[in-house]
Amino acid sequence: MQPPQAPSPPVVAQQALSELVNYYRELARYHRSSVDYHQQLLEQHVLEAEAAEKQLASIEAILHPLQTKSSSPQTPKLVPQEISDRANGQQVNGTGKIRLSEEKAQEKIAEKDSATLASEESKPEKKATEVEKSNSKTSQLSDRQSLKNNSKTKSSSTKTAKTKKPTTQKNPAKTKSSTSTNSLKLPYSEKLAFYETTVNAVAVCLQEFYPQVVSAEDVIKYYYPEGLAGEDRKKAYAAFSNGLSKGAGKQGWVRTSVGKYRWKNEGETKT
């Protein structure tokens, strides 16, 4: 009597498993190749999208339609001495929403009115000399000293206006406004007069609207609440659009979409 024998494994089953191994090996290789291909394609599309955005900004600056005067409300002014920008190597704290108190705002308006009246009564020769002296002094004094000088100039200008005698002083704040506006090469704006560069002005506007997104149109409405038209509007739009684009990711704000930007606070993770 012979012992029982175990059955032999089917040859067909082993062949099927071997074919499955080869199949899944090829499938894995296919998926890896697809990932590499699509990654390269994605990078190419990103570069092309950035180039298209730059072209769009340039064309919009030339062909943007004229708009009527904006009816947006006046926004409070920002204190010049508290304005800081990353372009100058300084640090911006929080959202930068620093406002003048009502008392200081009224005092500043009174100072400008008094200085304007006194300047109109003075002789043209003295007026030119006063502007040069005031510009030199303003560039050397700190913001705190400038505010103190404004207060002294107010008293002197008011007294001179009452006696109708020529004045030998000129409001440093007024001189700074004219100089800053000319340096920006933009149409005059009382709110824009405190900034020496377009980047500084754009940064303050972005901080003011945080966390909302801002476009070049919003910046124009912010600094020119009465609106602009014609060549003045084209010039302002091109300057602000260029400032927003160049400063994105470098000066404290980020681009959220084409032509849209938002201020980014310290400690905020990049989205």
- Residue 170 CB neighbour total at 10 angstroms: 24
Q: In angstroms, rounded to a whole number, what is the distance separating the alpha carbons of residues 161 and 38?
A: 75
pLDDT score of 209 more than 50: yes
Q: Give the model confidence (pLDDT) of 96-127 as tens digits.
A: 444 445 566 567 666 766 666 555 555 555 55
- Residue 138 CB neighbour total at 10 angstroms: 17
Q: Which position has the higher pLDDT, 234 or 45?
A: 45
**What pLDDT was estimated at residue 201?**
83
pLDDT score of 48 more than 90: yes
Q: Give the model confidence (pLDDT) of 242-264 as tens digits.
A: 888 877 777 788 888 887 888 87
Say how many CA atoms lie within 13 Å of 139 toward its Cβ: 8
- Is residue 213 within 8 Å of 261, Cβ to Cβ? yes
Average pLDDT rounded to a whole number, residues 41-49:
93
Q: In angstroms, rounded to a whole number, what is the distance separating the alpha carbons of residues 264 and 246?
A: 15
Q: In angstroms, rounded to a whole number, what is the distance separating the alpha carbons of residues 38 and 44?
A: 10
Task: Output phi, psi for 214, to 5 deg.
Answer: -130, 145
Q: In angstroms, rounded to a whole number, what is the distance separating the alpha carbons of residues 110 and 150?
A: 10
How buried is residue 126: exposed, middle or buried, by Cβ count under 10 Å (0-12/13-18/19+)? middle
Q: Give the model confidence (pLDDT) of 137-170 as tens digits.
A: 555 555 555 555 555 555 454 444 443 333 333 3
Average pLDDT rounded to a whole number, residues 202-213:
84
Q: Give the model confidence (pLDDT) of 61-91 as tens digits.
A: 998 765 444 444 455 454 444 444 444 444 4
**What pLDDT was estimated at residue 100?**
44
Token pair belonging to 269: 């993770």
**Selection from 248, 250, 255 nearest residue 271 by Cα:** 255
Q: Is the peptide bond before 187 cis (omega within 30 degrees of 0)?
A: no
Q: How confident is residue 193, by pLDDT bands cut at 50, 70 and 90?
A: confident
Q: How confident is residue 8, by pLDDT bands cut at 50, 70 and 90?
A: confident
DSSP H helical ranges for 97-229? 102-121, 124-140, 143-163, 172-184, 198-209, 216-223
Q: Kindly report the average pLDDT of the chain as a whole number.
A: 69
Task: Output phi, psi for 28, to 5 deg.
Answer: -65, -40
